[in-house]
């Protein structure tokens, strides 16, 4: 039986082992370049295998630093970054490698598979975007910039995590808990010196709980202020990141980092992105203003930023008779996982079986995935919040489906990480419906990687997929978390086993697009800020000035001056979304279009769903997503599907 890579990370010996591996790789590159007759099998496949081995070595450390963060992981991760960045930069700037790839593509073009051609073309593009063809002094400067960018991004992320963990608000007067559900009170409750107290933090489950239900406006404002003013030291990091990215783009021949970023995306140019976002903004503004009017009429006051979550929840409860807390008992974490797997089995014909493994945390679990009765992939889940874990939710690919140099098939594996309420012996982990949507979203990313049948690792699964298309499978899957027949697979009361009643499901579905235009404006604010920020160099107060200008159209409630949202915008300053946050909306057009094609056929009888698995999921990054989408739908994407999905007329 196939053996997956054992998850292990020897922290004590990590750096010496990494240095040894890098040296071995450099020696191997010299050997490959010395080959007189280079071809795809003896050169590209060998190079691919070498890079795969390095990736499998460093991924466990990256993962641990995110889910079991400690001073030791921070220290080793910080030591790793310059080593791996220097190695990667030198590799991507190696003119001889660049020439070898171009030569192989030219010589073997006729006999190569589509996936193999794509590997070569993407690598050639990567070499050119790394400056392989430039003079030595320029390449040296680009290497310095890459090392600095990786360190700055890591510092940004660590500052945010430290600031989040450092803050706590202690409540001793039970009157200040007015409005909070009993479940949330129990989670916050602790005893100190014989006195019962309640602790609220900036970790998502805790922060959202008080901002959504806490009636004490002064406490909501205090929590909000703490949240939006976290990590002020990141302002300097932002300036340096922007300066270095602009310099890098110009050294590579681009007018801006935004132009550089689009070279590897579906969107053809900067104008297309801005027109796309502005059109969505134009279509959403009228409805958003009406939604705010309704919300303020209900609240009987002009709302401030720290009011919106509280009054939105109250209006939802009044308007739809929908109380999020009433749903929690039906969304017990283990039941949701089991039902989600059952749904995926019915939709795509894949089966999940839990396997017993010793992992990084007792709450982490692993599942083997079978298709047509054969083992095809492994999934790792780590879903509960804890102090040592970075906030948010994400999927991270580990192994990629591919054939090695001997022709043996390797199977894919991936991690799905969330920050749901922690379970204990006394209390199960009861999710909000938003949490369920998040899990479906990340699972969409995971199966995109895990169900790939591409034989070249560099374009297998999520590898090689354009950044503005990578959210397509995740958004596609999350939409099903509102479908009644899907909900009934897992929405069962954790005590009685009762399936979520039809009238409650109807309320949930009806409320799906509650204040959706306001939500659309918020996402467009993030997207426009990110993209415009990278179209030219902004420094110091110019960053805030740009955000303020965008907010004149997108922020219906003017944020307070202490709101420094940008200092916590990890997606673009510590993740991979710089000049690419628009991707969520760009991909949402693809996902909404495909989703309705499946739903309109009938979810569990859909030929489109089967075709989606075969063309999109199994296809990975072996073709452009534009090509795959047209192959699936036999037409171009329809932007109207996105407005339909969001209930925007």
Domain with 554 in it: what CATH number?
A: 1.10.1370.10
Are 89 and 248 in contact, with CB atoms under 8 Å apart? no
Specify whether 355 is located in the same domain as 300: no
In this structure, the strands spanning 374-384 and 412-420 are parallel
Domain boundary among the residues 138, 157, 176 is at 157
CA angle 415, 418, 421 (to 5 degrees): 140
pLDDT mean across residues, the chain: 96
Query: What was the pLDDT predicted at 396?
Result: 97
Q: pLDDT, tens digit, for every residue of 525-568?
A: 999 999 999 999 999 999 999 999 999 999 999 999 999 999 99
User: Mean pLDDT throughout 2-16?
Assistant: 94
User: Mean pLDDT throughout 344-356?
Assistant: 96
SS3 assignment, position 518:
helix
Q: pLDDT, tens digit, for every residue of 108-141?
A: 999 999 999 999 999 999 999 999 999 999 999 9
Q: Is 578 part of any domain? A: yes
Specify whether 338 is located in the same domain as 482: yes
Q: From 631, 620, 622, select the one nearest 115 (Cα to Cα).
A: 622
The total number of structural domains in the chain stands at: 4
- Dihedral sign from CA coordinates of 602, 604, 607, 613: positive
Query: What was the pLDDT predicted at 639?
Result: 84
Q: In Å, how far are 10, 442, 577, 595 from 592, measured between CA atoms?
A: 44, 17, 21, 5
Range of the domain at 604: 254-320+513-649
Q: Which residue has tokens 């205090």?
A: 222
User: Would you say residue 203 has pLDDT above 90?
Assistant: yes
Q: Is 503 part of any domain? A: no
Q: pLDDT, tens digit, for every residue of 207-261?
A: 999 999 999 999 999 999 999 999 999 999 999 999 999 999 999 999 999 999 9
Are 587 and 422 in contact, with CB atoms under 8 Å apart? no
Specify whether 205 is located in the same domain as 261: no
Query: What was the pLDDT predicted at 475?
Result: 97
Length of the chain: 649
Exposed / middle / buried, residue 598 (Cβ in 10 Å: 0-12, 13-18, 19+): buried
Band (71; pLDDT cuts 50, 70, 90): very high
Is residue 442 part of the annotated active site? The answer reads: yes
Q: How far apart are CA 131 and CA 133, in angstroms?
A: 5
Specify whether 339 is located in the same domain as 276: no
User: Would you say residue 473 has pLDDT above 70?
Assistant: yes
Domain boundary among the residues 211, 228, 245 is at 228
384, 442, 458, 478: which is the annotated catalytic residue?
442
Specify whether 132 is located in the same domain as 178: no
Specify whether 591 is located in the same domain as 632: yes
Q: How far apart are CA 326 and CA 323, in angstroms?
A: 5
Band (649; pLDDT cuts 50, 70, 90): confident
Specify whether 194 is located in the same domain as 309: no
Q: Is 288 part of any domain? A: yes
Specify whether 628 is located in the same domain as 483: no
Specify whether 562 is located in the same domain as 617: yes
- Provide, rounded to the nearest whole percent, the portion of the chain with pLDDT above 70: 100
Q: Is 498 part of any domain? A: no
Are 204 and 171 in contact, with CB atoms under 8 Å apart? no
Specify whether 431 is located in the same domain as 404: yes
Specify whether 338 is located in the same domain as 196: no
Q: Is 497 part of any domain? A: no
Q: Is 624 part of any domain? A: yes
Hey, how many other C-beta atoms are within 10 angstroms of the C-beta on 560? 14
Band (143; pLDDT cuts 50, 70, 90): very high
Specify whether 477 is located in the same domain as 341: yes
User: Mean pLDDT throughout 353-368?
Assistant: 96
User: Mean pLDDT throughout 430-445?
Assistant: 97
- Provide, rounded to the nearest whole percent, the portion of the chain with pLDDT above 90: 95
Query: What was the pLDDT predicted at 1?
Result: 61
SS3 assignment, position 287:
helix
């Amino acid at each position: 039986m196939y053996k997956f890579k054992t998850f292990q990370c020897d922290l004590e010996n990590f750096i010496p082992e990494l240095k040894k591996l890098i040296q071995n790789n450099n020696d191997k590159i010299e050997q490959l370049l010395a080959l007189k007759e280079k071809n795809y099998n003896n050169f590209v496949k060998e190079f691919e295998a070498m890079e795969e081995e390095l990736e499998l070595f460093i991924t466990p450390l990256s993962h641990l630093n995110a889910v079991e963060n400690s001073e030791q992981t921070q220290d080793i991760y910080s030591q790793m970054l310059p080593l791996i960045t220097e190695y990667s930069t030198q590799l991507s700037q190696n003119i001889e490698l660049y020439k070898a790839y171009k030569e192989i593509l030219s010589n073997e073009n006729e006999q190569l598979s589509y996936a193999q051609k794509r590997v070569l073309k993407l690598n050639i593009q990567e070499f050119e975007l790394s400056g392989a063809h430039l003079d030595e002094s320029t390449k040296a400067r680009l290497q310095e910039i890459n090392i600095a960018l990786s360190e700055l991004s890591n510092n940004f992320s660590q500052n945010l995590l430290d600031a989040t963990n450092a803050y706590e608000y202690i409540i001793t007067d039970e009157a200040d808990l007015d409005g909070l559900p009993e479940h949330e009170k129990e989670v916050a409750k602790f005893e100190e010196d014989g006195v019962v107290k309640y602790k609220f933090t900036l970790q998502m489950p805790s922060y959202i709980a008080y901002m959504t239900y806490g009636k004490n406006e002064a406490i909501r404002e205090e929590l909000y202020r703490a949240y939006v003013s976290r990590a002020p030291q990141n302002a300097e990091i932002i300036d340096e990141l922007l300066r270095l990215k602009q310099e890098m783009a110009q050294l590579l021949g681009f007018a801006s980092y935004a132009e550089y970023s689009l070279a590897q995306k579906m969107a053809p140019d900067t104008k297309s992105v801005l027109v796309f976002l502005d059109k969505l903004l134009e279509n959403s503004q009228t409805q958003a203003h009406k939604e705010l009017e309704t919300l303020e009429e209900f609240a009987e006051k002009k709302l401030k930023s720290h009011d919106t979550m509280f009054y939105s929840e109250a209006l939802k409860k009044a308007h739809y008779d929908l109380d999020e807390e009433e749903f929690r008992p039906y969304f017990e974490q283990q039941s949701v996982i089991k039902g989600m797997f059952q749904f995926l089995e019915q939709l795509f014909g894949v089966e999940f079986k839990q396997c017993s493994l010793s992992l990084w945390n007792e709450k982490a679990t692993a599942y083997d995935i079978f298709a047509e009765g054969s083992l095809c992939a492994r999934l790792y889940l780590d879903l509960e919040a804890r102090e040592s874990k970075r906030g948010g939710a994400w999927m991270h690919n580990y192994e990629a489906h591919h054939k090695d140099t001997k022709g043996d098939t390797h199977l894919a594996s991936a991690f799905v990480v969330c920050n749901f309420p922690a379970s204990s012996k006394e209390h199960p982990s009861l999710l909000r419906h938003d949490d369920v949507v998040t899990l479906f979203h990340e699972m969409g990313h995971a199966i995109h990687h895990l169900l790939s049948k591409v034989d070249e690792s560099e374009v297998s699964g999520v590898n090689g997929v354009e950044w503005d298309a990578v959210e397509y499978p995740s958004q596609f899957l999350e939409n099903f978390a509102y479908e009644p027949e899907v909900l009934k697979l897992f929405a069962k009361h954790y005590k009685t086993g009762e399936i979520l009643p039809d009238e409650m499901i109807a309320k949930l579905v009806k409320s799906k697009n509650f204040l959706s235009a306001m939500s659309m404006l918020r996402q467009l604010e993030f997207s426009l800020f990110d993209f415009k920020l990278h179209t030219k160099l902004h420094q110091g107060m110019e960053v805030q000035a740009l955000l303020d200008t965008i907010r004149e159209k997108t922020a219906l409630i003017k944020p307070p001056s202490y709101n420094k949202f940008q200092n916590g915008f990890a997606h673009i300053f510590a993740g991979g979304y710089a000049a690419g946050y628009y991707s969520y909306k760009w991909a949402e057009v693809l996902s909404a279009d495909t989703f309705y094609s499946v739903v309109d056929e009938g979810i569990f009888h859909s030929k489109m769903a089967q075709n989606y698995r075969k063309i999109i999921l199994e296809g990975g990054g072996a073709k452009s997503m534009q090509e795959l989408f047209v192959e699936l739908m036999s037409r171009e994407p329809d932007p109207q599907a996105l407005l339909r999905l969001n209930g925007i007329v």
